[in-house]
A and B are shown apart, each in its own frame.
Chain A
């Protein structure tokens, strides 16, 4: 048997995703009276799933609390079958879980939004360091501000949610009884300041301005998001002051 064939067969035994003929398994692995070949292979298949579920629990502690151990394990087992790990770091395994939850019948309608918030916070926690630009740096843009492009710090995540996931997050985080799902569009901004991760609800206009900045729009173009408000210039200035104050701006690019 070649190395490639051995790894195909062993991976099938470990993931349990492809049936393996017991005779092929016995011809492949050494078993003994104390521990048969199939029992030896099972040690790996059990560890495989437990390790992945443990990693997902690290990133989704509140979703795990809400679902309980059994339901969370079963969700994760289905998830890793649908989304096998493609990254050397286990910390990246859970990125598709919010989308996976959206597409499947879940016990609560707001699970996907809660997961999106937890994932954004987990990513923000370890996002690369950059900036932030201080107020002087921002003021130095002067009259060219409208044509300048801002670069946001890498931790910034923007979420458009359908449920009040922030309230659910807060109750679970404080170990309170979770509220029933509360439908209603919510725009959430997630970012890291120093070592600490924050999230806050922002207006849909501010979220769309930040999203334009992230896509590389000029400040002038991004601030068109405020055009429909009664005082667009004021709204834009307030937003900029808040971005600068919260350390969201890494630098300016012209």
Chain B
């Protein structure tokens, strides 16, 4: 099997602060990404906004609670809800994170890092197959920012991500900011990470801001994309080509125009990187 990349251009995350704008207008964005859990089983204004946005743009459903790496059983009720939402919205992609977030029935609502072991790899691969069967479609998994590493890890993160995608036959949502944040927090070379990721598995990029806490970088999504992340994005475009890219901004969310400006900036970085790739 293979993975089919969609051609969407540059988009932004749909956040409640801008619901009114998306309902009343057709903002100048290429596509939008909606947090799946905010729309499963709901009606009213949030669903009306998503339906209207879907009429205007391609939509990607991006989840935060799949908990693909947890040893808890998969939440079948959640998968059924996600499938119903995806059937209704017909998104370009359904994605979630390569992490775990449930423990003994409790949702931790955070993206917990996995130890990179053969056991975890087998476990995740098995579950991605189950999820893709339940949803009737391929999913994309996103690399997360992390602040800890496990002594028991026997693989690098990039080896783990690549092997999950190949063996489970899913796509990769490569979060360029997360690679940068984790590289700084763990002291690895982000370019080595990029070079280990199979290009035909990469379906989407995420770009976001982080904050520097002195001892570590925190993936806060509350600021513009940092210069070093723009550079890494350019390197990613040179390696992977034209990939749909999304600006994530979740805290201190600015006006829509500022988000659109940031996605235009990404477009310009991509254009320059593609030209450089062409010339090389």
Contacts and interface: CB of A to CB of B under 8 A. Distances in A.
Given A4-B71, A7-B71, A34-B215, A88 B37 contact: yes
A11 B47 contact: no
Nearest to A197: B44
A14 B103 CA distance: 11
Interface in A75-98: 84-91, 93
Given A7-B100, A28-B151, A51 B110 contact: yes
Given A1-B152, A88-B78, A89-B37, A7 B106 contact: no
Interface in B180-210: 185-187
Contacts of A130: 43
Nearest to A42: B147
Nearest to B72: A7
A32 B148 CA distance: 10
A40 B147 CA distance: 6
B149 interface: yes
Contacts of A40: 147-148, 216
Contacts of A87: 107
B41 A6 contact: no
B110 A129 contact: no
Chain B, interface residues (CB within 8 Å), range: 35 or more
Contacts of A128: 41-43
- Secondary structure of the A contact surface, majority rule: helix
Contact of B44 (A2, A15, A192): A192
B183 to A, nearest CB: 14
B103 A7 contact: yes
A136 B107 CA distance: 46
A29 B44 contact: no
Chain A, interface residues (CB within 8 Å), range: 35 or more
Nearest to A51: B109
Given A41-B148, A195-B48, A35 B103 contact: no
A179 to B, nearest CB: 30
Contacts of B185: 35
A43 B150 contact: no
B151 A27 contact: yes
Interface of B: 37-38, 40-48, 65, 69-71, 75, 78, 100, 103-110, 112, 114-115, 117, 119-120, 123, 147-152, 185-187, 215-216, 218
15 contacts: A3-B114, A7-B70, A14-B108, A29-B148, A30-B151, A34-B215, A34-B216, A44-B148, A48-B109, A90-B37, A126-B44, A127-B42, A127-B44, A129-B47, A195-B48
